Amino acid sequence: MITLARRLTAAAALGALLTGCGTAAPQSRTGRPAPAASPAPHRHSPSPAASPTPSKPPTMAPGPGGLTPVFSHGSRTRGKIVALSFDADMTASEGPRAAAGEHFDNPRLIADLRRLKVPATVFMTGRWADEYPAEARSIGADPLFEVANHSYSHYAFTSPCYGLPELGADSMRSDAARATAAFRRAGVRHTVPYFRFPGGCYNSAALRALAPLGMTAVQWDVVSGDPFAQDSDAVAEQVLSGVRPGSLVVMHCTESAAPATDSAVRRIVPELRARGYRFVKVSDLMGAS
């Protein structure tokens, strides 16, 4: 059982993420955490095209060009499935730090996922792909993984958002499209038309700005608390206590900002499998019925 101290430590680490790399509790247009409720089942099959054009005007239903993000998929018919997602974050200010040797990638984590044969979805920023093109290409060529869009700049799509610089309304769509171009440059193959807002922060204007790209906004219902966490057991316990059938977990693929993630995954995976859970990519979770 997670002690109160461990919960507070994880919460504090999550709040400290600010301009660095990651995500805290998803925020709605009000600035308050959005409810982690399961929306209506989402059944579209993602196309390899990174930015298809929706054939219909935006709707309130989750889906390509829709105005309602997906938080989880509480499917009963496919049993105990769970999707692990990893944000590969990078901002402009972190470029010089990466050049100096700081790791905003996490090769050990990717190696662990491969060794454990865990399908996963990597929400990648364009800057990360530009900084680590060989790794982006390797992840994108592996059928175990899929790559989704996490913006190019990792700037906020609404404010306040944990201290992240804010994009202008006229830059949101071009920033997401720029990430798609970075994936192409790196040779990323397995892309899916999903978008995760930096910091999890969004409002109706941000959703409408992205709608023409035909991407589905994807959030999460289980927060790992891995940003800056040193205690991998605390991270693992937070995930293990939160997962339910159809859950979507947010973690990070940035070693310097989430150093305990790979160790936590090595505990999370066998324990969830022992409980009867099966790991799937986000696209498979979305296709569950």
Residue 2: pLDDT over 90: no
Residues 207 and 105: their CA atoms lie apart, in Å, by 28
Question: Does the reported pTM lie above 0.85?
Answer: no
Query: What whole-number distance in Å separates Cα of residue 271 and Cα of residue 263?
Result: 13
For the domain made up of 4-9+76-287, the CATH class stated in words is alpha beta
Buried b (16+ CB within 10 A) or exposed e, 25-50: bbbbeeeeebebebbebbeeebeeeb
Per-residue pLDDT tens over the stretch 163-194: 999 999 999 999 999 999 999 999 999 999 99
Residue showing tokens 């499998």: 273
Read off the pLDDT of residues 38-65 as tens digits, 9 standing for 90 and up: 333 333 333 333 333 334 445 555 567 7
**Encoding tokens for residue 249?**
């977990």
Give the model's pLDDT for residue 36.
Answer: 34
Residue pointed to by tokens 């293990």: 240
Mean pLDDT (the chain) is 82
What region does 207 belong to: left with phi over 0, alpha with psi -120 to 50, or beta?
alpha
The C-alpha atoms of residue 286 and residue 289 are separated, in whole angstroms, by 8
pLDDT digits (tens, 9 = 90+) for 71-84: 987 655 568 999 99
| Interior/surface letters 198-233, b for 16+ CB within 10 angstroms, e for the rest | bbbbbbeebbebbbebbbbbbbbbbbbbbbbbebbe
Domain boundaries along the sequence of the chain = 4-9+76-287
